[in-house]
Amino acid sequence: MKILVTGGAGFIGSNFCHYCYAHEPSSQIEKIIVIDKLGYSGSIENISELMEKENFCFIQADICNQELITQLLFDEKIDAVIHFAAESHVDRSIDDPAIFVQSNVVGTFKLLESSFHYFSSLAHKDKEKFRFLHISTDEVYGSIPMDASPAKEGGLYAPSSPYSASKAASDHFVWAYYKTYGLPAMITHSSNNYGPRQHPEKMIPHMICNALEGKELPVYGLGLNIRDWIYVEDHCAGIWRVLCWGKQGEVYHIGKGSGISNIELVRKICSLLDIFFPRLTGKSYSELIRFVADRPGHDLRYALDVSKMKKELGWEAQMELEKGLEKTIFWYVEHKDWIRSVMEKGYALKRQGLYRKAKITS
């Protein structure tokens, strides 16, 4: 397959690219082409190790650049589009929702337009092969009551934040292009991801970095919000399984299938740090926990029913939370230069004539 990965310099997208080269047979991957505008959540450092591979290509561009994306699809004869590109920070969406509408809704629409135009031109055998895989979130289902069963595929949407509303809108556009135009699309909804290369503003790396610097560990409200956490490599394995064996027109939930409150999670991180990187004072990192005012529209519980992935595709998450947190802690401890770099330069990368310099070959 020749795979176009949008948002491939971001957290999950870059981990997916690394996963493909590390775990999947080279015979299945002819080329991976990453498109990323390198906004706040995308970093060239995330994919720098892949740059030397002959069958890897990076282009700094916005998916809203429909002309470029369309030309790229035709020039490279793409077999699959995996659409990670999205603004994804809930707090940022509250502060500036317009950016989320532009990236997540308009960007997805333009990507679908390009993909459908390209798909329509393909010969029958190539149409049978082509896939459009849209990566979404559990947040589109809104807050699941504590006594309710986890959300199933096709469940009612009830987004609470501008971020989740923009992702819900993008999901609907994907289904419209499948149902109306026959674009062979699939959607995955994942639970909260964690692991290497996640922006230090996100909860788990934020807690790790703050703790090691002796800073306060801010927890919204009373920390009772429930989330299901999946190690990012498990998520990537699930995405690959859907790409290769999923059925077009289907939705798949990718998660661990468990839940933990935010305060329990933070205390677990503190306990692991106490073991591996004890403070000179002898005190626990947990004394740094501070409860802060809750954010607007904060959903109490997210929960996905992940049984379909196991039943139909033979996949389930492997990494236990404590082991995954341990691996994540050590990654951030060992990559302080990465943390400093992405925080200082804000993921800015100055290039001119990006499409020409990418040396795209047909």
pLDDT given at position 351: 37
pLDDT given at position 27: 74
Task: Give pLDDT tens digits along the chain (362 positions).
Answer: 999 999 999 999 999 999 999 987 777 899 999 999 998 778 999 999 999 999 999 999 999 999 999 999 999 999 999 999 988 777 787 888 898 999 999 999 999 999 999 999 999 999 999 999 999 999 999 999 999 999 999 999 999 988 999 999 999 999 999 999 999 999 999 999 999 999 998 999 999 999 999 999 999 999 999 999 999 999 999 999 999 999 999 999 999 999 999 999 999 999 999 999 999 999 999 999 999 999 888 899 999 999 999 999 999 999 999 999 999 999 999 999 999 988 875 544 333 333 323 333 22
- Write out the catalytic residue numbers: 138-139, 163
pLDDT given at position 353: 35
pLDDT given at position 346: 54
pLDDT given at position 197: 96
Query: Hey, where are the domains in the chain?
Result: 2-193+230-258+299-319+345-357
pLDDT given at position 352: 34
pLDDT given at position 345: 58
Helix (H), strand (E), coil (C) string for the chain = CEEEEECCCCHHHHHHHHHHHHHCCHHHCCEEEEEECCCCCCCHHHHHHHCCCCCEEEEECCCCCHHHHHHHHHHHCCCEEEECCCCCCHHHHHHCHHHHHHHHHHHHHHHHHHHHHHHHHCCHHHHHHCEEEEEEEHHHHCCCCCCCCCECCCCCCCCCCHHHHHHHHHHHHHHHHHHHHCCCEEEEEECEEECCCCCCCCHHHHHHHHHHCCCCEEEECCCCCEECEEEHHHHHHHHHHHHHHCCCCCEEEECCCCCEEHHHHHHHHHHHHHHHCCCCCCCCHHHHEEEECCCCCCCCECCECCHHHHHHHCCCCCCCHHHHHHHHHHHHHHCHHHHHHHHHHCCCCCCCCHHHHCCCCC
Please identify, in words, the CATH class of the domain defined by 2-193+230-258+299-319+345-357. Answer: alpha beta
